[in-house]
């Protein structure tokens, strides 16, 4: 049965889902990877494409921006469509001198200023961490890209606000080894854990909080995802459960 936000029938969503934030990036990814993909939902104009890559089923759709939007889709994908793993192919802002625009960050864990994970386990500050088999698959794929492609494996921070990053907080996060800020990974990791499923976020650094001179344009945010996609697809289709 369809959900309030996804019109696909049971069986029309693959066990592996690529979930960028941007619906146009989702369409580009789906078209590039699966020219014969079927559009199985477009509730609220959010396209959902299912097809195959090298004989393996795959669904591509967008999460929208922020944890509440991602939370709706991730919950429905895991609980109604029995999705086994979700890989976010996102963008993020660099917050540390250790990353540059264009680099890729495999988000090992996600700090957050959101209250969404606070009430999950009373008395516990939840640790939002990626699924290790997916991290390992992404790292193996990164090794195949060669040393000239900067890929980092590190924590990110998932924030509720795009604007108004407090400078002191950003500096401390960088001091603690956090590389980038985005808006979805912490909720994705927690929802996957809740359902006993797998999740990973692989983000392209689209702008830098310490130096904006090389920031991507809106079009580049939509289009510059190839290396993150290579890693994300390898994770989504990695053999281990
Ligand atoms: O480019 P996407 O994947 O949407 O990710 C980032 O971009 C959006 C903000 O511009 C937020 O969703 C943030 O997480
Ligand atoms: O959340 C985000 C995403 C990309 N770039 C940012 O600065 N913040």
CA 91 to ligand 2 centroid distance, Å: 7
Nearest atom in ligand 1 to 182's CA: 14
Residue 52 inside a domain? The answer is yes
* 22 found inside a domain: yes
Residue nearest to atom 6 of ligand 2 (CA): 93
54 — alpha (psi -120 to 50), left (phi > 0) or beta? left
What pLDDT score was predicted for residue 1? 78
Q: Judge whether 4 lies within some domain.
A: no
User: What pLDDT does 204 receive?
Assistant: 97
Question: Counting beta carbons within 10 angstroms of the beta carbon of residue 184, is it exposed (0 to 12), middle (13 to 18) or buried (19 or more)?
Answer: buried
**Ligand with minimal distance to 20 CA:** 1
Q: What is the pLDDT of residue 241?
A: 66
Cα distances (Å, whole numbers) of residue 231 to 81, 113, 122, 238, 241:
24, 27, 35, 10, 17
Ligand 2 atom nearest residue 165's Cα: 7
Is 64 a domain residue? yes
Asked whether residue 113 is domain-assigned, the answer is yes
- pLDDT, residue 55, reads 97
User: What pLDDT score does 154 carry?
Assistant: 98
Structural domain range at position 171: 16-236
Q: What is the pLDDT of residues 121-179, one digit of tens each?
A: 999 999 999 999 999 999 999 999 888 789 999 999 999 999 999 999 999 999 999 99
pTM for the predicted model, two decimal places: 0.97
Under-50 pLDDT residues of the chain: none
In a domain, 241, yes or no: no
Would you state the pLDDT for residue 56?
Answer: 97
User: Is 129 a domain residue?
Assistant: yes
Cite the active site residues: 207
Domain count, the chain: 1
Q: Please give the sequence-ordered ranges of beta strands (E in DSSP) within 113-233, or none if there are none.
A: 151-158, 180-182, 198-208
Ligand nearest to the CA of 159: 2
Pairing mode of beta strands 56-61, 180-182: unpaired
As a whole number of angstroms, the distance between CA 220 and CA 197 comes to: 31
């Amino acid at each position: 049965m369809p959900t309030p936000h996804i019109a696909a029938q049971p069986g029309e969503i693959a066990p592996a889902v690529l979930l960028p934030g941007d619906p146009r990036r989702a369409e580009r990814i789906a078209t590039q990877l699966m020219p014969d993909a079927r559009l199985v939902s477009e509730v609220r104009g959010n396209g959902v494409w299912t097809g195959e890559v090298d004989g393996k089923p795959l669904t591509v759709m967008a999460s929208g921006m922020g944890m509440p939007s991602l939370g709706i889709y991730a919950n429905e994908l895991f609980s109604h469509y029995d999705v086994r793993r979700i890989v976010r192919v996102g963008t993020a802002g660099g917050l540390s001198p250790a990353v540059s625009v264009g680099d890729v960050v495999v988000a090992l864990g996600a700090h957050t200023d959101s209250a969404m994970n606070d009430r999950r386990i009373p008395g516990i500050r939840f640790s939002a961490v990626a699924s290790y088999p997916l991290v390992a698959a992404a790292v193996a794929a990164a090794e195949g890209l060669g040393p000239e492609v900067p890929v980092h494996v590190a924590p990110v921070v998932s924030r509720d606000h795009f604007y108004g990053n407090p400078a002191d907080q950003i500096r401390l996060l960088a001091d603690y080894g956090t590389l980038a800020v985005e808006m979805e990974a912490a909720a994705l990791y927690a929802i996957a854990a809740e359902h006993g499923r797998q999740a990973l976020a692989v983000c392209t650094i689209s702008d830098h909080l310490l130096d904006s001179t090389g920031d991507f344009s809106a079009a580049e945010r939509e289009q510059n995802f190839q290396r993150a996609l290579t890693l994300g697809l390898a994770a989504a289709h990695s053999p281990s459960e």
